[in-house]
Chain A
Amino acid sequence: MTTGLLVDASAFPAVELTSNCDWTPYLDAIKTMPFVSGARSSRVGTVDNPVTITMRFARRDPLDYGGLLGANFRQALYWRCEAFADDDLTKRLFDSRPASGLDRRVVPQLMREKLLPWGADNGFRGDLPKRHVRLFPPGIHCPLACRPKVLRWTLYGPAFNPDRTAASHYDIGFAPVGLAVPIIRATGSTADYQPGDEVTRVAGGGLSVDPGTGRRLARIDLRLMPETQRNDIAVLVASVNNDLPVVWVPDKARPEVNALWGFVGRLSGSTSHRWGQPAHTDTTISVEEWPE
């Protein structure tokens, strides 16, 4: 059963952000939405000299998630997220590297070997074809489950400009950390896509379509929730309302699913819990993408 996460990204805990390179306008810009007002680095990272972002929290609060979203990372970029219990970075609590010990890529393998197309540009790594990557804003979703004092991101690899040419800077739009509610989607949940185009139908059968910004919409159906989960949802919904950001992570165990289906958004509409059973409720949460 796939367990997803609905992350409360509404408030950044008290934190000091430092980095080993310069950021424009300032690194703290990654603590808030929208993406366009995020931070831009002065250089890209290399294997010998990666770009690191260190978040030093004031208190050791529990965190379920860390992410770097709205970024301009290419699929081939490597990242690593480490969480430490102390300021001296000696007691490591969490490392994003899998058992192989290698750093993860931004867009991991999505296709199974048997289905890899021969000759296509994604035929070797099995990630997304180049022309499809631009459809999904790149982001790194890293589910944690610890109480870190320091969280450190390490990045090295290529990045792109908006027209997909090579860039010599990293853009990070939003880098939330926070607690999350574990979500097991029930049958009937949907993952929708709204193109956002302006369609004008003209008398006589003509159609004029003005392209807009597409946004994804996840309708999460939850069934037979026990009281603890119901309480967690109630707290999340009340703290973000419809205006503060949440991050939808569909499967915390499979990064390739999150690369394609995860996004930062806002709750849309109201949330109602329906009792069908004496002690369990059903509810539907709608999350609408915030693509700016």
Chain B
Amino acid sequence: MTMVRLYTMQAWHVASKTVHTLRYATKPGYRSWPGDTPASEVFLPLVLRPAEVSVSIAEPGEARGQTRVDLGRLVMDNAFDRQFNSRPLNPLLTDYVVAGWPIIEQVVRRDQPLSTAVTTFRGVMEMPEPERGSLTIPVRGRELDFDRALLTETYPGTGGLGGPSDLTDKTKERIIGHVAVIEPTYLGVIGGLNTYSLNGGHPIDDVLWFRDRAAQLTRVAGTPAMDQWSVDLSTAILRVGGDRPEAPTCEVRGDKTGGVYRRHAGAVLAWIASDLTGLRTAEDIDLASVAVLDAAPRTVGLWCPAGQSPTARDALDRIAGSLWGGYWLEGALGIFRVGRLPAVGGTVKANYRKGAGTDPLKPRSDSRRSLPASKVTWRYARNYAVSQTLAAQAADAAATRAKAEWLEVATDEDDDVVAAYRAAARHEVIESVLIDPADAAAEAALAAVDLATPHRTFELRPWDRAPGLDLTDEIAVTDDIAGFEAGGRLVIIGRSINDRSGKATLIGRT
């Protein structure tokens, strides 16, 4: 019995300024039953080729946790139909806007009701590319929604708390999590005191210290006098008495919007995706995966200075990349999920054998990354305001901190790796947004264990289209190439959703 792919598109009808739902299917088409929701709807058989989509996570240590969704192209049939004397998809091109609107792909057995359909992909359409007799609509994953500025609030530049004129229309600064050393934004002299903004007007948890050229100033509760400072935590406005500091730095426990001080990696990732950018609602986030990631909590810190907002994707990548094997992804169903890439050795979800369930394994070209590392250095607690000129009265510890951009923790040299690989063994250095030395040491240890053995990636084409297998699942493959004779294990780091060849492609890592 044939499986039919159903495509439900939302499109903007320009003339009536309303959203319409358009339904198409692969041949031979489909019609929902009278008891389905929606009832008796026709999915016209106008899809010639389903979109080929693939999702992949970068390997640990590479590309800082970034995920990739490859564009698929949906090819539709726009042949001239003499029964109606028109091409069926012309109205889609002339009366509707589809670029930027969602599309859902489902698979259903032709003789079953729509309620049994399984959703395979939720994506976003781009501008259609018409030919004479066909129409191609590129479809992308929802990850690319995050390619927009993380912060949008700007300084009006009107003076006072609106910022000086040189900050006009620059994005307000923001501190998320716990940052070690940053330079606050100077707003000018307000009420006779030098005033700084730390979090764009949003509440913060605390400011631990404030220094000028590494010389510590005293914190007071009321109005600060010379060499004193005070901070209003609900607006993150910091006031310093006396002359304007030449090189102010401070350590801040940041954003506490809604009364919650967020600093653990999973919670921050989920917050950036949902409340900070407004891009996802709570239903679209896999909160269970956030809880799993934060079971071993890691405090992170991200500082966005005034006028320099990163993209949301960049922020997510930096945070996920600060955990060894950390990733964030939207996946095929558009559910935001975070986690760590597991090492081989968990439960096997599927077994494949060359020639009896899958095409032969194909090794992918390995980069330099496949060489093992004998030592891992984890950099943390970044100093964003490194300064070499310090005040005479600066304490030694403060002076050392002010001159160093990173704090580092390194694992011991792995003798076995050095003995086996000699000069080829690498020394891996990871720059992260972590703040705690214990966290950094733990991550470095994880990385050292993972990097002590070389990893290879393979491409696999199972004939059963790998149902139910998702990224980070583990599979066992028996092949006759090295390492797989008695069954080798692979962790899936990429897969195609629809493959034009009719099989699925899995990318696995040993």
Q: Which residues of A contact B (CB under 8 A)?
A: 10, 24-25, 32-37, 40, 161-164, 168-169, 171, 198, 200, 202, 204, 206, 208, 210-213, 241, 243-244, 291-292
Contacts and interface: CB of A to CB of B under 8 A. Distances in A.
A37 B2 contact: no
A40 B79 CA distance: 26
A213 B27 contact: yes
A204 B79 CA distance: 41
Contact of A161 (B33, B84, B502): B33
Contact of B112 (A162, A204, A213): A162
Given A206-B356, A211-B1, A213-B2, A37 B502 contact: no
Contact of A36 (B45, B81, B83): B45
B44 interface: yes
21 contacts: A25-B40, A32-B84, A34-B28, A34-B29, A34-B44, A36-B30, A36-B45, A40-B40, A161-B113, A162-B111, A163-B111, A163-B112, A163-B113, A171-B31, A198-B502, A200-B502, A202-B355, A243-B81, A291-B28, A292-B27, A292-B29
A206 B353 CA distance: 13
B110 interface: yes
Given A162-B110, A162-B112, A206-B355, A36 B84 contact: no
A25 B356 CA distance: 48
B82 A243 contact: yes
B410 to A, nearest CB: 50
Contact of A213 (B28, B30, B42, B463): B28
B40 A24 contact: yes
A292 B44 CA distance: 10
A34 B355 contact: no
Contacts of B40: 24-25, 40
Contacts of A32: 83-84
Contacts, number: 66
Interface majority SS (helix, strand, loop, mixed), chain B: loop
B454 interface: no
B32 to A, nearest CB: 10
A292 B29 CA distance: 7
A171 B502 CA distance: 32
Nearest to B359: A202
Given A210-B502, A243-B82, A292-B28, 6 more contacts: A25-B42, A37-B29, A162-B112, A164-B111, A206-B355, A211-B1
9 nearest A-B pairs in the assembled complex, by CB-CB distance: A36-B29, A162-B111, A292-B28, A32-B83, A163-B111, A37-B42, A24-B40, A36-B31, A40-B40
Contacts of B110: 162
A252 B502 CA distance: 43
Given A36-B28, A163-B111, A244 B82 contact: yes
B34 interface: yes
Interface size class of B (residues with CB under 8 A): 20 to 34
Interface of B: 1-2, 27-31, 33-34, 40, 42-45, 79, 81-84, 110-113, 355-356, 359, 463, 502
Contacts of A244: 82-83
Contacts of A204: 355
A169 B34 contact: yes
Nearest to A24: B40
A194 B2 CA distance: 15
A65 to B, nearest CB: 18
A204 to B, nearest CB: 5
Contacts of B28: 34, 36, 213, 291-292
Contacts of B42: 25, 36-37
A10 B83 CA distance: 7
Nearest to A291: B28
A213 B30 CA distance: 13
A213 to B, nearest CB: 5
A25 B34 CA distance: 12
Nearest to A32: B83
Nearest to A198: B502
A37 B44 contact: yes
Contacts of B33: 161-162
B25 to A, nearest CB: 8
A211 B3 CA distance: 9
Q: Give the interface centre of B43, B45, B84 by most chain A CB atoms within 10 Å.
A: B45
Contacts of A168: 34
A88 B487 CA distance: 80
Nearest to A243: B82
Nearest to B83: A32
Nearest to A245: B83
B265 to A, nearest CB: 43
A56 to B, nearest CB: 21
B92 to A, nearest CB: 16
Contacts of B31: 36, 40, 171
A11 to B, nearest CB: 8
A105 B111 CA distance: 24
A116 to B, nearest CB: 29
A10 B81 CA distance: 11
A200 B33 CA distance: 34
Contacts of B34: 40, 168-169
A212 B3 CA distance: 9
A36 B44 contact: yes
A208 B27 contact: no
B442 to A, nearest CB: 47
Q: Give the interface centre of A161, A162, A171 by most chain B CB atoms within 10 Å.
A: A162
Contacts of A40: 31, 34, 40
A168 B35 CA distance: 11
B44 A208 contact: no
A206 B1 CA distance: 22
Q: Give the interface centre of B30, B31, B110 by most chain A CB atoms within 10 Å.
A: B31
A27 B342 CA distance: 58
